[in-house]
Amino acid sequence: MNAIISCIESLRMKLDRHLKGDLKEYPTRIIFIDPLLQALGWDVRNPNEAELEYPTIDGKSVDYALKINRKPVLFIEAKSLNDPLTDVKSITQVVSYAVNAGVEWCILTNGVTYKVYRSTEKAEAPDKLLFEISLDPKDTEGMSIQQVVGLFSRFSSDAMARDVLPRIGEQIFTTAKIRKALDKLLMEPPNTLIRLIRSTVGDDTIKPKQVKDALQRLWTQTSEVQIASTSEPRGEPTRVRGKEYSEEHHIKGKPQEVVELFRTIDIFCRELAPTDIQRKYLATYVKYSHGKNIFCCVHLQKSGLRVGLRLKYSDLESPPEYVRDVSNIGHWGVGDVEFAIDSLERFQSAKGLIQKSFEENR
């Protein structure tokens, strides 16, 4: 990890100077991409580990084919340093390279931001995005260097050999698919499901329509229906009169992992008191309140979630290293405690802090 930290810190020192210029693709690879890949355990000088200009079936080539046991496991397509990486044609191209070669994972990068796609997902190319991570501190504000390293390390040589990406991909994409299937099943339950529930309940007086209505009520409690709030605490961003925000405003363009992390924390916050929690979508974050007391604010970033809690940092006993005191730092939301959630594992470790904030602000 120390080698990766040193590499990232070194590359960050070069960012400002090069971002002001017009660094083309090839020097971007030499100055930024190659050193990072080396730090992640890929020998870019050894074609058995990292083959450059790897030929594809259409007669073109992908910039890097990273290999385990001489077999490609990850394609990387590089762009110039200031490329925004939003061109659908570029995304589709690298995903197609991977699909055609039978390679599950591919990355589109400008040397600063790395977008990781799972080519085998049954979706449009942009929707195959699992996660992204950036070298630029402005893009990972609130994240510790260890968290940044952790996300980059997901596609290190060692991690690819241990199938780290496939495990994360299966967890995130499968959860999204099951959530979507449940939404359809419970909001529009088929007769077979209704009969199964009636049989399991063992009460013939309950009619099929009552089962259907109950399913809809239960699922709506944990669905994405917005709960309105009338309170506006001091210090929140100014809103345009009549402007309403929704979940779509916050998740649009975000990687699938960030979307699933948000939905996980959203359900957790609202289930702390199912009938009393108020959720409100604001311009820059989502707030959760109990009565008039806000206990949690969530800001969706491209690399994860920034979570703010109404707690005093000084009152925390041995706070984890990823938690920081923002009492004297400008930040979205409320409270003196903030941390970044970049994985489901991190969320599990932070649940106690969220619950503590809820209990102290109800």
Residue 31's pLDDT is what? 97
Q: Mean pLDDT, to the nearest integer, of 320-335?
A: 84
Residue 98's pLDDT is what? 97
Residue of 84, 96, 77 lying closest to 19 (CA atoms): 84
| Cα–Cα distance, 337 to 313 (Å, whole number) | 6
Query: What contacts 142, CB < 8 A, 6 or more positions away?
Result: 301, 306, 324, 338, 339, 340
What is the CATH class of 2-162?
Answer: alpha beta
pTM: 0.87
Residue 108's pLDDT is what? 98
Residue 198's pLDDT is what? 92
**Percent of the chain clearing pLDDT 70 (strictly above):** 94
Residue 224's pLDDT is what? 45
Residue 227's pLDDT is what? 36
Residue 229's pLDDT is what? 34
pLDDT at 109 exceeding the cut of 70? yes
Residue 323's pLDDT is what? 93
pLDDT in tens, 43-55: 999 999 999 999 9
Residue 313's pLDDT is what? 92
pLDDT in tens, 193-214: 999 999 999 998 999 999 999 9
Residue 219's pLDDT is what? 79
Residue of 292, 299, 361 lying closest to 330 (CA atoms): 299
Domain positions in the chain:
2-162, 233-360
| Cα–Cα distance, 24 to 182 (Å, whole number) | 47
Give the other-Cβ count within 10 Å of 83's Cβ: 19
Angle between helices 145-152 and 2-19 in degrees, nearest 10 = 100
pLDDT at 327 exceeding the cut of 60? yes
Average pLDDT over the chain, rounded to whole?
Answer: 91
pLDDT at 310 exceeding the cut of 60? yes
pLDDT in tens, 221-254: 655 433 333 333 333 443 444 578 999 999 999 9
Q: Mean pLDDT, to the nearest integer, of 168-173?
A: 95
Q: Mean pLDDT, to the nearest integer, of 103-118?
A: 98
**Percent of the chain clearing pLDDT 90 (strictly above):** 78
Residue of 176, 209, 211 lying closest to 196 (CA atoms): 211
Residue 77's pLDDT is what? 98
pLDDT at 265 exceeding the cut of 50? yes
Residue 312's pLDDT is what? 93
Residue 183's pLDDT is what? 87
pLDDT at 1 exceeding the cut of 80? no
